[in-house]
Structure 1
Amino acid sequence: MVTVGVVVNEEKPLAQQVADEMARWFATRQVQMGIPLTNVNQLVMAPTEKLKEVLAPVQWVVALGGDGTLLNTARLVAPLGIPVLGVNLGRLGFLTEIDVADLFSTLERMLQGDYQIEERMMLQAQIRHEGELGPVFYALNDVAITKGSHPRMIRLETSIGNDVVSTYSSDGLLISSPTGSTAYSLSAGGPILSPDVHALLLTYLCPHVMDARPLVVAEDQTVQVAVLTPHMQGMVFFDGQPGIPLVSGDEVIVKKAPFTCKLIKTAGRSFFQILRNKMQQGR
């Protein structure tokens, strides 16, 4: 029996309605809902072992919301290798695969095995505080190191491997995956990377120098960012989730994660078609 997980963004009233319709639709097809009508925030707070237990029988997960819901869901299920279908109930929906109008026809095709899997590179990060490494965090889009709410700039030293490549005062630094190159990094002036180009992208936020340009480095590199500003608290964010404070001397270490995010693709659109349609390229 097929078991499908459904993750709901409770901030979108339509999401609950669609989830209820999905439950009835699945019931007529002998499809079990493994994590029915689950709020993604509840899953985020679940202990790792409990999360593995809940997701163990699930073949794939449907995320009802927008790009934010998909990002939250991806971080939870990607380590377990579970594919995700993103359904757009939001505004832009760059990462989500389909709109809600196409949901049930898409699910019918998926039950017949008519879909593809697109693997997206993910990032992993750790904070080194007073010489001790903290827990591992994952991101599909980006790791953002910023000055937080402080009005002054933060001074960051960035190293690639054993080499220091920059020491700038700025509003912060983004370390993005190719998927994240069309998110915050794009707004900050970074280049767009095709998702099949596995690399890390560094984009500075309002640097107080003339020569700070975005930097693309190989996927096997490790990026280390040290906070140099004394008596000031910075922040680090993973896919825009609530931040973790940083103090002078802390380091954020970012590299490619040992697994990918498996996105379900059914619409037959290329990345460049989506780019043109969603970003209104050439209009």
Structure 2
Amino acid sequence: MTLAFHRVGLVGKYHDANLAARGGKAVEDLLSVARFLEQRGCAVDIEEEWARYEGVTDCTSRSLEDMGRECDLVVVVGGDGTMLGVARQLAPFSVPLIGINQGRLGFITDISYRDFASSLALVLEGEYIEDHRCLIDAQVLRAGSVVFAALALNDVVVNRGATAGMVELQVRVDGHFVASQRADGLIVASATGSTAYNLSAGGPLLHPAVAGWVLAPIAPHTLSNRPIVLPNSSTITLEIVAGRDASASFDTQSLASLAVGDCIAVRLSEHRARFLHPHGWSYFDTLRRKLLWNERGLLP
């Protein structure tokens, strides 16, 4: 058998030390994937922070950055949240990623744990579909200076304060004034992130191949403020006009506190995430299973 990938990195989800039974099962799941890869002839590196946190010492470990430089493939065992963090950090290295979900079917960790052996076997032999996803490059500017910067795969969300009223924003696209919005917040989502918070806020689904952003208000004061799809070649600027204790989150994993006058600039990143799926994978199958869409009136 000729391997398409020779050195594989493994990244797991960190578990609460109080959830010993769940954490122990999760550790065993990841080590089972490691043993499978080794039996197939791959050199396996486990992400060193995860190994240290979970007390796994009898393995070869490597930092995530080193995995980006040295590994041919990185396998993420966990959920979409784990994959989001890994994808952002590894996007500059253009290393392909594949996700094994330990719980419910995920949108980007789409291989169920029970099927990992058959699915990984195909991928290792070069039988896969490659799927590139755009990333968002976001900056928070205060008096013209960048005070915070982050990448996001799903979305950038401006939220009102926990105890304050609505936040008021001025929205510009490529420097052109679009609207003033008063709402609980505003979402700028990529096509990948259109199935996340954007979906809950009533925004549209975008196929991952669509080169667009969704701009979706959260509980807008004016009901005519509706979601809009914009080309992702655009730069979107959100200026805080009013509202106390507002904040910006990036994939819900990074947070920046905002003050009146701050601007959040959102543009297309030069980096892309590379996902691999076994042959036969379909984005529409994922939607149907995750969103419980009926097929000819029958649940799948």
Answer yes or no: same fold by TM over 0.5.
yes
Instruction: Say if 1:141 and 1:181, in contact at 8 Å, map to a contact too.
Output: yes
1:257 match: secondary structure: strand
After superposition, the Cα gap between the structure-2 partners of 1:91 and 1:23, relative to the gap in structure 1 and judged at 3 Å, is closer
Cα distance in 1 for residues equivalent to 2:181 and 2:148: 27
- Structure 1: 5+ residue runs without aligned partners? 43-49
- Alignment correspondent of 1:233: 245
Structure 1 residues 25-49: Cα deviation after superposition (integer angstroms, max 9, x where no partner): 333333212344653999xxxxxxx
Structure 1 residues 229-266: Cα deviation after superposition (integer angstroms, max 9, x where no partner): 16x12111111114210111111000111121111111
- Alignment correspondent of 1:280: 292
2:280 match: secondary structure: coil
Instruction: Say if 1:40 and 1:69, in contact at 8 Å, map to a contact too.
Output: no
Q: Within the alignment, does 1:19 sit opposite 2:23 as a pair?
A: no
- Alignment correspondent of 1:39: 50
Q: CA deviation at 1:97?
A: 2.1
Instruction: Say if 1:170 and 1:204, in contact at 8 Å, map to a contact too.
Output: yes
Q: Within the alignment, does 1:76 sit opposite 2:80 as a pair?
A: no
Instruction: Say if 2:242 and 2:260, in contact at 8 Å, map to a contact too.
Output: yes
Cα distance in 1 for residues equivalent to 2:114 and 2:48: 19
Cα distance in 2 for residues equivalent to 1:130 and 1:70: 34
Instruction: Say if 2:148 and 2:256, in contact at 8 Å, map to a contact too.
Output: no
After superposition, the Cα gap between the structure-2 partners of 1:40 and 1:191, relative to the gap in structure 1 and judged at 3 Å, is farther
2:157 match: secondary structure: strand
The residue type paired with residue 128 of structure 1 is L
- Structure 2: 5+ residue runs without aligned partners? 16-21, 54-62
Q: CA deviation at 1:73?
A: 1.1
2:177 match: secondary structure: strand
- Alignment correspondent of 1:94: 107
2:204 to 179, 191, 199: 191
2:264 to 242, 252, 256: 252
Q: CA deviation at 1:120?
A: 1.1
1:147 to 149, 160, 181: 160
Cα distance in 1 for residues equivalent to 2:179 and 2:160: 17
Root-mean-square deviation (CA, aligned residues, Å) is 2.1
Instruction: Say if 1:115 and 1:265, in contact at 8 Å, map to a contact too.
Output: yes
The residue type paired with residue 211 of structure 2 is H
2:13 to 9, 12, 24: 9
- Alignment correspondent of 1:262: 274
Cα distance in 1 for residues equivalent to 2:212 and 2:51: 28
Instruction: Say if 2:64 and 2:90, in contact at 8 Å, map to a contact too.
Output: no
Structure 1 residues 124-167: Cα deviation after superposition (integer angstroms, max 9, x where no partner): 10110121024531111101111132331111111001111111
After superposition, the Cα gap between the structure-2 partners of 1:207 and 1:272, relative to the gap in structure 1 and judged at 3 Å, is same
Instruction: Say if 1:159 and 1:224, in contact at 8 Å, map to a contact too.
Output: yes
Cα distance in 1 for residues equivalent to 2:111 and 2:34: 19
Instruction: Say if 2:123 and 2:277, in contact at 8 Å, map to a contact too.
Output: no
Instruction: Say if 2:7 and 2:43, in contact at 8 Å, map to a contact too.
Output: yes
Q: Within the alignment, does 1:125 sit opposite 2:138 as a pair?
A: yes
The residue type paired with residue 17 of structure 1 is E
- Alignment correspondent of 2:184: 171
After superposition, the Cα gap between the structure-2 partners of 1:159 and 1:215, relative to the gap in structure 1 and judged at 3 Å, is same
Instruction: Say if 1:35 and 1:55, in contact at 8 Å, map to a contact too.
Output: no
What is the aligned residue count?
A: 275
After superposition, the Cα gap between the structure-2 partners of 1:221 and 1:131, relative to the gap in structure 1 and judged at 3 Å, is same
Instruction: Say if 1:170 and 1:205, in contact at 8 Å, map to a contact too.
Output: yes
**Percent identity over paired residues:** 32
Q: CA deviation at 1:96?
A: 1.3
Instruction: Say if 2:129 and 2:279, in contact at 8 Å, map to a contact too.
Output: no
